[in-house]
Structure 1
């Protein structure tokens, strides 16, 4: 009898937990600058009514950061909840996220959530990672230059979403899709398929289909839209919303953001129709700032290399590739209608690492000690006061930085800066001569953090490829 009662109570507890734990959706855009969200008020040509409504019904972070100004390391930090320098994925050309690292998808699956994803992954091995290639494909270790074809698919598969904790997936940034369900909601045997249509609409439909399939269970869904990153493409449905004289790259960016915004609207309507909107926590974050290429040239869309994607970082200084505010300070929203205040603007520093910490603590009741993020919910509801972090840290290429409170210390090669990023002057006035003790204190903390990393230390000596950016943006 006692055994039966214990089993019943355990079942009852699990049922209550399943009903109260929120569903979690993480929307992660690609190369979207801070300005390109209507509610930011930075520009007047962007149209994002559904994202603006998400902010109106939730919390908008005005000091929301990512861990790196580049795709792979930023995503590595997001998905592990750890500073990616701890395991060596410092930039696109280092290593893929090691298989020993536990991803948030695995943690959520272990907590009893159904996990799913669609869109851009970018955490598998690539041809720009010679260290990994030499170790894992020794037959070509002495090759002078590697190409994408040098890495067989079977070498990538252990790093793809199905092997990294995602139970359901419609994975692929463009039109070559690895899926185990179709857009009609049917289970299919894992296979690669060639998709048609528009990539962003497909990613939205994959998210909506997942929600419909799992509306009666707690779920975690990762939606890394491949936009407004190049190649720029959009349908007339979205382009027609932005007539008039403007750079064509800007028009396409606006159209792609409109497609994402429509997608967010479709997702929220699906949640409401199924009665789960109130208990769904949605994160909306960009992976890094926009690549302005300094002068924002409106080169033809047929250009195959890197180029301005039409997005803007106003009012912040710099761009993708820099750990100035323009490269790492991004759109950052959270909405959970049942719990979070509506229309709150939160100005204290938060970071993408906080997604994993928040999600896993809500799902399991505790945060693993190895995670670097913080559960943001108590800070946003007012249950806790003060900053969620004592300090935030960055190290990328020949740059390193720390933000503590409102002060940010930044080193770029042999140049040093101290800014109060809460002021109107933010990174346009170097305060290092006015507050030398503060700069020294922050540098010491930055040095201490850097000693914990896989490749310890802060970059020293002359700056490399970033020099042109710092010569252009930091003329003081």
Structure 2
């Protein structure tokens, strides 16, 4: 995106804020030099292969590609889970799925005792802001944003509300209370999230800040501002990816006559919004003292008019097998980019194997907080600085929507245990078989035995998410 285009979008974004009675501050922040600002940007259902930096050929993502050129690209980084809520729980609490309180979708809130990144960073002198899809507690629950360490919040707290791009109501922290904010003109939610994030960034403060910007796209509903859709329409108003299979209105997600063009447009919209954040950092002279991370919450989806043929058309999962709700890497491996201009070598790539529960440990180290045993994470600051990096013994996931599925990665080995496969352990060598196409369990009984022990060890019983009963 060009500088002029970014400025044009910034102007467009500033208009809807008047609907919320919220005016943009013109004061400039002066961050504390000894502690970096930390920004984590999360896309919703973006595939591993949806960015140019990860091989995408049909969808334009110039700002994220530039972020990769200016920073570090992780090739083997994983989400917290294969669906939204537990993935975000792992991100915020630093707990993997065997230990996390929230292990599946639904409106189950975090508990008072579940400490998240924002709460810990406040003890290190950070001001905190969260904008977008929360999904870890609605108003009146102990997981509500105003009770979880956020000084500023504007967004959607309920999962289903976040399915729709023009919600009737959003939520905001005012005077430490979480209050509803009407959206009478039906402004697009992600436009509002971005504008509030930009405003938070430029508020005058001597404190460093932690900002979490969580979009609701390219998750269905596949709708967006007309300029977003126009990016993949030809001069006659037809999709450049024709033929398209329309998604009819009247179903859960709103109708979309051009699902492929709309999905591509929403991926590019995420890229546009990230570009505005990065441009704001440059304008304010903060890029050298701000670390920016970008990821997706899980793999690409098959919802709202998007189908498996569309995933294959765009190669949204890249070289990986599977999509959202799969325990294969297409469901849980994410594009992960980190930019820190003063510290990270440009255009660097790492195959360090990490996951969302590492982000908390990393943020705590960046903030100068002592190492804690309260998370399952391992800080990847050494990787960013090209120093000796401690490694995980293993990474672990579990998933409940299809019975009870588990996965573990240990070094180059990956084990998958699916209810649909009778609970039989499948074993893959990720170094030689990134597509998880050849199950080598029979040829490696010792490895399978070791993986079975890990699957038992990593899972701690949950009263909220019980195991499926055997029939």
TM-score, with normalisation over the residues of structure 1? 0.78
Does the alignment pair 1:439 with 2:448?
A: yes
**Cα distance change of structure 1 residues 364 and 347 upon mapping to structure 2, 3 Å threshold:** same
Please give the secondary structure, in 1, of the residue aligned with 2:365.
Answer: helix
Instruction: Give secondary structure in 1 for the equivalent of 2:216.
Output: coil
- Are the aligned partners of 2:320 and 2:434 in contact in 1 as well (CA < 8 Å)? no
* Counterpart position of 2:5: none
Q: CA deviation at 1:322?
A: 1.5
Cα distance in 1, alignment partners of residues 223 and 391 from structure 2: 38
Indicate yes or no: 2:171 matched with 1:178.
yes
RMSD between aligned residues: 3.0
Change (3 A) 1:456 1:349: farther
Cα gap change, 1:286 to 1:448, in 2 (>3 Å): same
> Is the alpha carbon distance of 1:84 and 1:410 closer, same or farther for their aligned partners in structure 2, counting shifts above 3 Å?
closer
Is the 8 Å Cα contact of residues 447 and 457 (structure 1) preserved in structure 2? no
Distance 1:460 1:188 in 2: 40
The alpha-carbon deviation at position 87 of structure 1 amounts to 4.4
* Contact 2:146 2:177 survives alignment (8 Å): no
User: CA contact under 8 A between 1:395 and 1:401: conserved in structure 2?
Assistant: yes
SS for the counterpart of 2:291 is strand
Among candidates 64, 75, 96, match of residue 51 of structure 1:
64
Identify which of 169, 177, 182 aligns with 1:194.
182
Counterpart selection for 1:168 from 152, 162, 168: 152
Alignment size in residue pairs: 403
Matches of 1:319 and 1:219, distance apart in 2: 34
Alignment-derived partner of residue 95 in structure 1 = 108
1:29 and 1:224 in contact (8 A); partners too: yes
Is it true that 1:260 corresponds to 2:264 in the alignment?
no
Cα distance between partner residues in 1 of 2:229 and 2:451: 46
SS of match in other structure, 1:239? helix
Q: Does residue 330 of structure 1 match 2:337? A: no
In the other structure, the counterpart of 1:279 is: 289
Distance 1:368 1:255, change over 3 A: same
Name the structure 2 match of 1:34. Answer: 48
Partner of 2:415: 409
Give the SS at the match of 1:278.
helix
**Cα deviations across residues 137-196 of structure 1 (Å, max 9, x unaligned)?**
xxxxxxxxxxxxxxxx5x34x422112110012222454222247xxxxx9986422234
- Which of 357, 361, 364 is matched with 1:360 structurally? 364
For residue 213 of structure 1, report the CA deviation from its aligned partner.
0.8
- Tell me which moved more, 421-430 or 32-41: 421-430
Give CA deviations for 1:345-373 in whole Å, capped at 9, x if unaligned. 11121101111111112113322211111
Deviation of residue 58 (structure 1)?
0.9
Q: Which moved more, 1:413-422 or 1:72-81?
A: 413-422
**Does the C-alpha gap of structure 1 residues 51 and 316 become closer, same or farther in structure 2, counting only changes over 3 Å?**
same
Q: Deviations over 1:423-465 (max 9, x none)?
A: 2453111111121111111221222222x454699968879xx
Aligned in 2, Cα 1:462/1:433: closer, same or farther, shift over 3 Å? Answer: farther
| Runs of 5+ unmatched residues, structure 2 | 1-29, 157-161, 234-239, 245-257
Are the structure 2 counterparts of residues 296 and 423 from structure 1 closer, same or farther at C-alpha, using a change threshold of 3 Å?
farther
- Whether the 8 Å CA contact 1:319–1:326 is kept in 2: the answer is yes
Shift of 1:312: 2.5
Q: Secondary structure at the match of 1:428?
A: coil
Q: State the 1:376 CA deviation.
A: 0.5
Q: CA deviation at 1:214?
A: 4.4
Unmatched segments (≥5 aa) in structure 1? 1-15, 126-152, 182-186, 300-306, 464-476
Tell whether the 8 Å contact from 1:117 to 1:221 is kept in structure 2 after alignment. yes
SS at match of 1:224: strand
C-alpha deviation, 1:319, in angstroms: 1.5
Task: Quote the residue 1:207 is aligned against.
Answer: 197
Structure index of larger Rg: 1
2:390 corresponds to 1:393: no
SS at match of 2:454: helix
Distance change >3 Å, CA 458–CA 267, structure 1 → 2:
same
- Give CA-to-partner distance per residue, 1:313-343, whole Å, 9 cap, x none: 2321111112111110111111111111211
Q: Which has the higher helix share?
A: 1
Change (3 A) 1:459 1:436: farther
Aligned to 1:238, the other structure's residue is in SS state: helix
Please give the secondary structure, in 1, of the residue aligned with 2:202: helix
Could you tell me how far apart the structure 1 residues matched to 2:446 and 2:466 are? 19
Hey, what does 1:318 align to over in structure 2? 322
Which residue is 1:250 aligned to? Answer: 260
